[in-house]
Structure 1
Amino acid sequence: MTATPVRDELADNPFARLQHEGRLLNAVFKGRTTKPRRVGFRGELALRFAPRLADEARPPELCCEQVMAVAHAGDSQLPFFCGWLLSFEHLRDVAEVLGDALHARGKYFLFCDNIDLTKRYQVPYRGAMFYVLPIVESTVYNEMLELLYLEKNELKKQSTAAKLDAIADAGCRFDLPFDIISYEEGIEVMGPVRNPHENRPV
């Protein structure tokens, strides 16, 4: 029996548009998870594309990295999304790209490189609430395990799909309140943007 192509699995949920726009990049996982009707994605979400020169495909100018997200067949919105941003200001780009896929009751986590390590915020934007946190544990995966009190050793032997389900399920139940600030207030308090290419060998 021929397996159902991944593109068909993404056809009737919010990933369909993102896939069509070429925004789902460098996928570690993309397809059905272990839960009924659920599909998931782990990889990068392209936020801004570089201008195209003739037929030359150029890498995006801006991405949300280390993304983990799930959706359900027949639903038009994402119940769970998390990822890493170099700068808090790019929250706006994430919200604009996800657009109608955002839900008022969805759980959306963004770990930002230039947020005070002692601060955690909730930021309302486009009718959704974003949890904005500093990046401390080096990866979004580790950060989510820490935030959601999930044991890494218990998940170690699970498949990528099962790990994504465990994080998404716990993330959707998360309800710890943080300080609520506006996007504009976040811009004012964010730190300088690090040059990710600094000190790299040429």
Structure 2
Amino acid sequence: MTATATQTEIQDTAFARLEAEGRLLNPVLKAPTHKPGRFGFRGELALRFSAKLADEARPPELTCDQVMAVATAGDKHLPFFCGWLLSFESLKDVAETLGDTLSAGGKYFLFCDNIDLSKKYQVPYKGAMFYVLPILENTVYNEMLELLYLEKGDLKKKDTAGKLDAVADAALKFDVTFDTITYAEGLELMGPVRNPNENRPV
């Protein structure tokens, strides 16, 4: 039996349905990590697809960007997921897309572009608890390092899978509590949605 035969395959994890539906896009990493039985993904999660015209492949209408997530072989739930959203409103789309891969004990972090920069919330949705945070450090990776007190220098020598393992391991132990609000309350509190194409050369 070769060493590769024991490698975790995506179809043996909670990513299987998302992969089959073509939702795991632009991966920086979509492979087993260094932790036995763990499969990691870094990339974009397609939330809503555009209508297809003939055979034309069109980009999704809505994505969750800068996603970092891990799954464990034989476990139907994702223990850890984080990503960036232009609008808090899309939390609903994330929860519905992840669906049966969510669990009450999972650690799910969403950095939203249109929530108050001084606020952090917990939002229960579909039986899972989402940590909803503002984006201050420009990237989800940097935000997670800051939130979890991980030193960037300590992770520098690790490869992409090693960095993801370190973030996921720390995130699974995260137990800080924030104000709990409902999804409806979050919609009332969120700010206007920025046009991401503003200030870009045409």
TM range (shorter): over 0.9
- C-alpha distance in 1, partners of 2:100/2:3? 33
Q: Could you say which residue in structure 1 is the equivalent of 2:69?
A: 69
Equivalence map 1:151-166=2 (5 Å): 151-166=151-166
Alpha-carbon distance in structure 2 between the residues aligned to 1:171 and 1:99: 20
Percent of aligned positions with the same letter in both sequences?
73
CA distance in structure 2 between the partners assigned to 1:200 and 1:71 by the alignment: 36
SS of the residue aligned with 1:141? helix
**Gap runs ≥5 in structure 2:** none
Instruction: Give the 5 Å matches for 1:30-179.
Output: 30-179=30-179
- 2-structure distance, mates of 1:108, 1:2: 32
Counterpart-to-counterpart distance in 2, 1:49 and 1:71: 24
CA distance in 2, matches of 1:14, 1:127: 17
Any idea what SS the aligned residue of 2:52 has? coil
- 2 CA distance for matches of 1:195 and 1:43? 22
- Partner secondary structure for residue 12 of structure 2: coil
Query: 1:146-185, CA deviations, whole angstroms, 9 ceiling, x for partnerless residues?
Result: 0000000000110111100000000010000000000000
Instruction: Give, as a single letter, the amino acid of the residue that structure 1 aligns with 2:163.
Output: K
Q: Which amino acid aligns with 1:102?
A: L
CA–CA distance in 2 between the matches of 1:201 and 1:3? 46
What is the aligned partner in structure 2 of residue 188 from structure 1?
188
Per-residue CA deviations over 1:19-59 (Å, capped at 9, x if unaligned) read 00000000000110010100010000000000000111000
The CA deviation at 1:3 is 5.6
- 1: CA distance between counterparts of 2:16 and 2:151? 32
Q: Distance in 2 between matches of 1:42 and 1:54?
A: 30
SS at 1:11 equivalent: helix
Task: Output the CA distance in 1 between the equivalents of 2:126 and 2:12.
Answer: 23
Letter in 2 for 1:14: A
TM-score normalised by structure 1 residue count: 0.97
Supply the AA of the counterpart residue of 1:200.
R
Amino acid at match of 2:160: T
C-alpha separation between the residues in 1 aligned to 2:127 and 2:3? Answer: 41
List 4+ stretches of structure 1 deviating above 4 A.
1-4
Deviation readout 1:123-151 (Å, 9 max, x if unpaired): 00000000000000000000000000000
**What CA distance in whole angstroms lies between the structure 2 residues aligned with 1:117 and 1:199?**
21
Deviation at 1:12, TM superposition (A): 1.2
The CA RMSD over aligned residues, in Å, is 1.3
Indicate whether 1:199 and 2:199 are aligned: yes
Distance of 1:153 and 1:184 partners within structure 2: 40
For the residues of structure 1 that align with 2:66 and 2:147, how far apart are their CA atoms? 16
TM-score (norm 2): 0.97
**SS in structure 2 at match of 1:176:** coil
Q: CA deviation at 1:13?
A: 1.1
For this pair of structures, how many residues does the alignment match? 200
